[in-house]
Amino acid sequence: MSKQQPPVDGLCEQCGFNYSTGDLQGTVTLLVRQAAESAMALTKAAAGPDPDVVRLRPEPEVWSAIEYACHVRDVLEVQRLRIAQCLAEDRPVYAPMDRTGRVKQEKYEFQSPVEVGAAVMKFAREFGTAAKVLTPQELARLGLYNYPVRAPRSLSWIVRHTAHEIQHHRHDIIEILAKVEPPIVPAPKPVVEESTEEGDGTEEQAAVVAEDNES
């Protein structure tokens, strides 16, 4: 979890993603799995003792778990549409996603964690289906990408960048929930005084002493 923008090439030291390693199929498979893990972390927290914990920001300028999950959902949908646009157009110009504006416009904070989690998994599967069938020639196709600077990017880069987004924000969601979730403290066990069914022999000793005094 960081206020700094993650890199878009090479190694991301925050989450460990590396743009330079891994084959396409493995990268996409990992993307789908990590998207599911993000969704499960969100819905599990929302089903806990404090459902609104997913809406808490650890810091004023850092998104909450539900806001990050909504972002992941929208990234997956937008990137899938960009794959289709790149295959249909020659040198497409991708419209900006407006990642920060969507938070307020779409009211991320108030969305249902269950619905968001289901959408994350749905769009991850759809993105994976579209990405896995791309040929080497298609992966090399270029489009004008706006983030973080306006530059031509290949479909291969878009697939890897999407995988980085998912891995990075999975890391964010889990780390944020670890910070804001109420700790689960087990209830103290009741103190039970030890005793035996046969007793400690005190009464029997007293009776023997009484008998000796009477004899």
- pLDDT tens digit string along 162-192? 999 999 999 999 999 999 976 555 555 666 6
The b/e string for 71-96 (b: 16+ C-beta within 10 A; e otherwise) is bbbbbbbbbbebbeebeeeeebebee
Q: For 144-164, what is each residue's pLDDT tens digit?
A: 999 999 999 999 999 999 999
Residue carrying structure tokens 């959902």 = 73
pTM of the model: 0.82
| The residue to which tokens 């066990």 are assigned | 189
Residue bearing the bigger pLDDT, 89 or 201: 89
- CB-side exposure of 160: number of CA atoms within 13 Å? 21
Q: pLDDT at position 202, please?
A: 47
Instruction: Please list, in sequence order, all residues whose beta carbon lies within 8 angstroms of the beta carbon of residue 206, skipping any fewer than 6 positions away.
Output: none
- Exposed/middle/buried for residue 33 (C-beta within 10 Å: 0-12, 13-18, 19+): middle
**Residue in 167, 152, 162, 159 with CA at minimum distance from that of residue 131:** 159
In whole angstroms, what is the distance from residue 5 CA to residue 168 CA?
Answer: 11
pLDDT at residue 5, rounded to an integer: 83
pLDDT value at 213 more than 50: no
CB-based burial label for 104 (10 Å; 0-12, 13-18, 19+) = exposed
44 vs 80: CA distance, rounded Å: 27
- What pLDDT, in 10s, does the model give residues 16-63? 999 999 899 999 999 999 999 999 999 999 999 999 999 999 999 999
Q: What is the rounded distance in angstroms from the CA atom of residue 153 to the CA atom of residue 72?
A: 20
Query: Do 6 and 15 contact (CB within 8 A), yes or no?
Result: yes
